[in-house]
Structures are given as structure tokens and as C-alpha cells.
A and B are shown apart, each in its own frame.
Chain A
Amino acid sequence: MRRYQFLRHTADAKFRAFGSSLEEAFANAALATASLMWDCQKIKERVEYKVTVEGRDLKQMLVNFLEEILYLFESKRFLLAVVDKINIKREKNKFKLKAVFKGDKYKDIYIIHGDVKAITYNEMKILNNDHFTLQVVVDI
């Protein structure tokens, strides 16, 4: 199965991320988002960040989760390579996600080829058929 796929969008970037579990789909959405800025496969796994996000629903948690990538990049110069140990739990009236981001701090050897300003709710879909599909539009 493909990890993610980009679709046509006039002003911004729209993708679908896939997974046999919700966790896998979330992790692939993170890689799709990062791929708009750098090539995840070329980033060494030298630094780790533990990520914990919540959401009042899955969509909000997805926005919060993907925003972690932007925040860590802009404030810590962290480039995501791999999403590890991802776990999603449903609590009373919210969702909670824990994961480990592995990657590296920005260095001259890495090429940043694009910008992502924000994660949006525009055309956001979370589908569960025999597998999970997350559709996201990001503001670039």
C-alpha cells in the first residue's frame, strides 16, 4: 500500500495518507506533510522528540499532530525522518496521541525545498473502510 498520495489543489497542497491502522495513517500523514519541505529518506535519525497531542475529535488531533512538525522545524530546526511508537487512545471526551519523532537538526547537507505555513481543516476527511484514509489540505 502506498503511504500517501498528493491530489490537485489550486492554491495549496492536498494529500491522502493511508494506513491499515489509524496510527499508521497518522504517521503517513506526518511523512506527507514533511515531504513538502524536505526528503524524509535523506534525513538521518540522530535526534528524537517525544510528541504528545490531544484533540476534542480526531480531526482536531490530526491538525495538532501535524502542527508539531512545523513547530519543531521552526523553533528547534528539527527535520522529521521517521514517526515511531505511535499510539492513539480514546479517553472520556477526547483523543490522545503519543509518538516519537526521529530525525535530525537542520544542517547545510539537507535541502529544504518548500514551506508549509499551517495545517487546515479544509476538505479534511477521515475515512475508515477496510483501511484508514486521511485527507488533508495544508497552507503553503
Chain B
Amino acid sequence: MEIRKINDYTWEIPKQGEMKVSTIIYISESLLESVKRDQTLRQARNVACLRGIQKNAYVMPDAHQGYGFPIGGVAAFDMEDGIISPGGVGYDINCGVRLLRTDYFEKDIHQRRQQLLAEIFKEVPAGVGKGGRTHLTRKILEDVCLRGAEWAVANGYGRQEDLLRTEENGKMEGADPSLLSRRAIERGIPQLGTLGAGNHFLEIQKVSEIFDEEIAEVFGIHFKGQILVMIHCGSRGLGHQVASDYIRLMENKFGTRDLPDRELINAPIRSELGQEYYKSMSAAVNFAFANRQMIAHWVRNVFARVMGSSEGMDQIYDVCHNVAKFEKHIIDGQTKKVCVHRKGATRSFGPGREEIPEVYRAVGQPVLIPGSMGTASYILVGTSEAEKISFGSTAHGAGRVMSRHEALRRFRGEKIKQEMESKGIELKSTSWKGVAEEASQAYKDVDEVVRVSHKVGIGKLVARVVPVAVMKG
């Protein structure tokens, strides 16, 4: 496959054959090497062949092979003759990140960090198949999926102002939970308010570096050593079931013959099935917003109990990493509503966009990029440049480079915990195996990922944070 270098951080798969547009890859030479080893580029080229795709298919610096679309893939489709695809969103619908600030410093919590972690571990259910603390009926769960984080706040989880600092205000308006299958509901009921497993985590972090003091100030980040809390999880089995349900329904309706890859199955946005997927996906997005809202509430409770207060623990932001949304973008000089798919990518809107909270509208939205376990995470700011060249999107994390199997062969969970402790990082997990699988060596270098984002201008560096205590599902 022909890959043309445009500049040090931009590469192109020129439009050819079935491609309706070109594919643009924002990546550095070193990251490109690992991307070339799997199916990422082939998958990104397939995306460029889909009906109604606008401008270009885009690939973010942390990309790796996914299903249908690559992880780290961004594509926008025409609202009239374009498509919507479950594979363009992924199985973990609204897998995302929420970040809370605190008024505490590292020295304030140092003596009590083990206690904080132990209490959070007790408070927040985590691990495979671990049930939640709630007992829900189908009717309540439908309400959760209709109202998202707003449901959680109305039921005593967290603060009204959290909603203003959540993408979509914590609630996708188009959600229709009555479309969810019985199975999606049954998988969702025991899992609301749970962290899950795999790459999902909850971290107490400290600010290690501030790159842009003015913008950091707007985000509520004032000093090095300031303590933050990051929550990374998604819509759990409910979202997985929605993805599987609609892949099946779309296959049965439209067949699979013309697809280069079965997971590129899609439906016209205007079709009934396309609309139903959007409304069901939105319901799953809301489930995930409510999920993170509840977890944030429990974390605040623990800080209140252990530290004496949770007063300064305002939410900085909550972002989706796997979602499809209807957004306005400028295409050929005209403002046009399109269906933007972000799969393993973060929205990165710059100053002035009406979708972002008023408090951030002068500077751009916070972009939250978690690193791998035990490594740095980053807070970036969205840019107008991103709106011009990536449909307002940037990277979402580190991206795997080593299989879990290989990680298990090479690393021991107990040893990783020791190594992290020697660096002053506490770790608590439901599974040693899970710890080994998530070893930071199994991931791309997140520092390099955000450097590319900054250089390209699709998300600018604001602050770097490092973990103090890690809870892994």
C-alpha cells in the first residue's frame, strides 16, 4: 500500500481504487513503524471506501488495529447519503475518562494514600463479572439510559455542576432506551456503577508538569503536586450488547457481500435501522455517563471520610472515547452537519464552540488522555486547528503494541506492583494476571503520542500527571 509522507507528523494513503477520499494519518516515524505491523492502515483505507465519507478518513497517533475501523479512527459522513456503523464506534460504547480536581497536595495525602486506595477499592465495584451496588428494574435502567448522568445526580450521585462539565452535559438527547434488547438490559442491570476490568482503571494522580499555566488555571489545575482523580471506564456489557445486536441486525437487513471486512457493516443514517442504532448507541452512551457519575460520587465520599473534605473536588471534564455524533463542521467552506465517528479518539473542540462548557469556551475543551498503567497521563486542550484538520479530534491514549498473551509471558503482576511501589505508586487490583496484561511496556509511549498531537496542533499540551495510587479492575 502506498503511504506518502506529507511532513514529519502527517502521512497520506492517497485516494485510489474503491476509496472515495484519502486517508490522513497523524503520526511520527517511530509510531508509524508499529502501526505498519498490524492491520491499522488497511482498515483505515477501508473506512475511506464507505458511502458519504467527507474530506478524509483520519488516523490518530495512538492508532492500532481494531474491528472494521481501526482504533484511533475518525470519519465523518454526510447526513443525507452517508452511513452510520457500529464498528466505527466500537464495542465499548462511550468508553471514556472523567477527571476530578482536588485542593490537596501530594504531601497532604502521602500518609493516607494507601488508606484512600483501600477505601476506594471497597467503595467502587471492579473486576470481571463483579456486580454493582444497585438493584435496578428494567424501568429504572431505561431511565438511566434516557437521562445519563442527570439520572445519577437526581438520585444523589454527585453535583448538578458536574453535568455542565461533561461532554453532552452527560446526556445524549437522541437516546431511546425502549429500543434496547432484553439482553442489553439484562447485561446492564447488574453492571451499573462498576469499573469493569481490562484496561479500565481509577487513579489518584499528581500534577508533574504544567505546560500552559493560563489554560491549566482555567481547568482548575494550579500547582505541580496537586492531586487529581481520573476514572476510565465505559458502558460495560450493555454497550457491548448494543454493538453486537446492531451488527447482527444490519447484516440481516443489508447482507455482507460488498464489504471488504464484515465489521464495516453499516446502515444509511437516514434509514430506520441507522436511526435505531444511533438512538440505542446514545442510550448506551448515557449508561456510561451515569456509570462514571456514580463512581465519581463514591470517590468524593472516600476523600470526605479519609481526608476530612471533598469540597474542592470539582469535575474538570468527562470525555467520550468511543462514540458517533451529529456535529457541525466546515466542509468546502460551508458549515455542514455530519455524523462524526470517533473510535478510540477524543473530541478536541477549540475556543468558541457552543458544545463545550461556558467556563472553557474562551480556551477550548479539556482533552483527557490516559496513559498505560503506572505511566503518565495528559491533559490537553482542544483547538480550532483540530476542527479544520481532524473533525475536531485527537488521540485517546497509549494504544497497545504487545499482545496480552505476550505480556503475560514476559511480566509478573506481583513484580510490576513491586516496581511501581519502588517508584512511590500504590497499586491494588482484582487480578495479578490483569496487572501483567496491562504492563506499561505492552503499550505505545503515551509521551510520544501527545507530542505528535501537540506538534500537529490537534490537541495542545496543558499538563502532565503521574499516578500516586492505581486501582485496576
Contact surface of A with B, Cβ cutoff 8 Å: 6, 8-13, 37, 56, 59-60, 63-64, 67, 70-71, 73-75, 77, 106, 112-115, 117-122, 124, 137, 139-140
Contacts and interface: CB of A to CB of B under 8 A. Distances in A.
B402 A10 contact: yes
Contacts of A140: 198, 404
A87 to B, nearest CB: 22
Contacts of B251: 56, 60
Interface in B415-473: 431, 433-434, 437
Contact of A115 (B128, B241, B400): B128
B288 to A, nearest CB: 13
A117 B129 contact: no
B449 to A, nearest CB: 15
A11 B128 contact: no
A114 B128 contact: yes
Determine chain A's interface SS by DSSP, over half rule: loop
Contact of A114 (B67, B406, B434): B434
Counting chain B residues whose Cβ lies within 8 A of the other chain, the interface size class is: 35 or more
A72 to B, nearest CB: 10
B92 interface: yes
A74 B244 contact: no
Contacts of B263: 120-122
A115 B198 contact: yes
A85 to B, nearest CB: 23
B93 to A, nearest CB: 11
Nearest to B187: A74
Given A13-B404, A70-B240, A124-B262, A117 B190 contact: no
A103 to B, nearest CB: 13
Closest 9 CB pairs of A and B: A75-B186, A121-B262, A118-B91, A115-B197, A115-B128, A74-B237, A74-B187, A112-B128, A11-B400
Nearest to A6: B405
B401 interface: yes
A77 B129 contact: yes
B196 A114 contact: no
Nearest to A119: B244
A10 B183 contact: no
A26 B107 CA distance: 56
Interface in B324-356: none
Contact of A71 (B127, B183, B196, B404): B183
Given A11-B65, A60-B251, A121-B67, A71 B241 contact: yes
A38 to B, nearest CB: 9
B386 interface: no
A120 B39 CA distance: 15
Nearest to A71: B183
Contact of B129 (A10, A11, A63, A106): A106
Interface in B379-406: 400-406
Contacts of A124: 262
B191 A60 contact: no
B240 A11 contact: no
A122 B67 contact: yes
